[in-house]
Chains A and B, each alone.
Chain A
């Protein structure tokens, strides 16, 4: 009897994990407006996520307005509205269950690539605990532990995306001086040596000019 209940709770545990594991991490290229939808299964779930604009246009031109981001709840109300960002984190407690929209608006016409990550976490709370005596309190603690780990994972995805963007910007900026590439190496060295030669020629010309100033008979021009 005891082992049968253990098996049943084991299967229920598996079922619970099947539903709790709600993560998605992707990159999307948006032209004007693009929306991503997610279903939140029960009210009170914590929805957390982040997004980073991968394109470097925003970093290069300081007058780029940035991307607008908005979260709409299933009732139609706007939960979050961020204007002109190049990446941000968000986290909220879902007021009701249903379909949530995460929309990106691009004010300019150049397509932008956005890497986003959304995680919906559910913790069976103590209210259910009181109603159903069969729910083991350890499941609540395990769910909390799991949500804490998922929070770390969410933060890591954000850091990874930002690191990729910074790395790309740095590589573009350093492309001129990155002498790993053979053609840039010869070009850079050529420019530098040319600069030195120019400097030497200018100084030699200066000396020649001063010599000519003094080459006429000294009696006439005593400078």
Chain B
């Protein structure tokens, strides 16, 4: 954290440089290691997915991390697919890439990475994936510029956005629970109805039996 804190008069000099370095997503200049790192096996693909609702902004950024030979970084291919199979992003022979889209349907969004055939080493590759959805993908710098807010007010706006996301999630979870409860109750009602019906048929049939046999025996003068 101390890298961001520059004090005194030097702030004005260092700040633009640091800002530029941090906001460019090029790992060769300053490795901004946000997000998780995955290992891609030497054969096969590594896929990550997330279940996303519709109308959500998704921002993705991936970059190969290789400290062994910085001159000859291995390349990977990437593909991002929507739940119904549409191809949202495709990249071949690259060391880094970015994609951004707004989801049109809710479902499972899949991002797959695999090693390129040109660099067939037996080693595993480390890939950094920065996957942001919803409020985390919002571009706050443009909001700050557009509405001319800064500092504490901007931070509080961000917190307000997070709170609204939390509220949306709560409502979503509550609706899902209500759905599940309805399904459970309907199914239980159906099970109960079937059991009672079969019990009723059993009892009716046995009552008919006894009534018929009694009438028969009375007719045959046995009782």
Name A residues whose Cβ lies closer than 8 Å to a Cβ of B.
Answer: 4, 6-19, 21-29, 35-39, 41-42, 99, 115, 118, 122, 124, 128, 132, 134-136, 138, 142, 145-146, 149-150, 152-153, 156, 159-160, 163-164, 166-167, 170-171, 174, 177-179, 192, 195-196, 199-200, 203, 206-207, 210-211, 214, 218
Contacts and interface: CB of A to CB of B under 8 A. Distances in A.
Nearest to B31: A39
Interface in B134-174: 136, 140-141, 144, 150-152, 154-156, 158-159, 162-163, 165-166, 169-170, 172-173
Nearest to B202: A199
Contacts of B155: 13, 17, 142, 146
A214 B187 contact: no
Interface string B174-207: 0011001001100100110010011001100110
Contacts of B30: none
A161 to B, nearest CB: 9
Contact of B152 (A24, A38, A142): A142
B216 A142 contact: no
Contacts of A138: 152
B140 A17 contact: yes
B59 to A, nearest CB: 12
B33 A196 contact: no
Contacts of B2: 42, 128
Given A26-B131, A41-B1, A132-B5, A199 B166 contact: no
A13 B152 contact: yes
27 contacts: A10-B151, A11-B19, A12-B4, A13-B152, A18-B22, A19-B1, A24-B131, A25-B50, A25-B131, A27-B49, A28-B48, A41-B1, A115-B51, A146-B159, A149-B166, A159-B173, A163-B180, A167-B176, A170-B180, A170-B183, A192-B198, A203-B205, A206-B209, A207-B212, A207-B213, A214-B217, A218-B220
A31 B15 CA distance: 46
A106 B34 CA distance: 27
Nearest to B110: A27
B35 interface: yes
A177 B188 CA distance: 9
Given A29-B47, A203-B208, A6 B165 contact: no
A218 B173 contact: no
B91 interface: no
A153 B165 contact: yes
B162 A146 contact: yes
B7 interface: yes
Interface stretch (B36-44, B71-79, B93-101): B36-44
Interface string B115-143: 00000000000100111110010001100
Contacts of B49: 26-27
| List of 7 A-B pairs having minimum Cβ-Cβ separation, nearest first | A10-B150, A37-B37, A10-B151, A39-B33, A203-B205, A26-B48, A156-B169
B166 A153 contact: yes
A39 B155 CA distance: 24
Residue from B11, B151, B170 with most neighbouring chain A CB atoms (10 Å): B151
A152 B166 CA distance: 7
Nearest to A206: B209
B194 A211 contact: no
Nearest to A150: B162
B169 A8 contact: no
B218 interface: no
A25 B166 CA distance: 15
A21 B161 CA distance: 14
Contacts of A12: 4-6, 11, 15
Contact of A36 (B36, B51, B158, B187): B36
Contacts of A28: 38, 47-48
A6 B150 contact: yes
Contacts of A159: 173
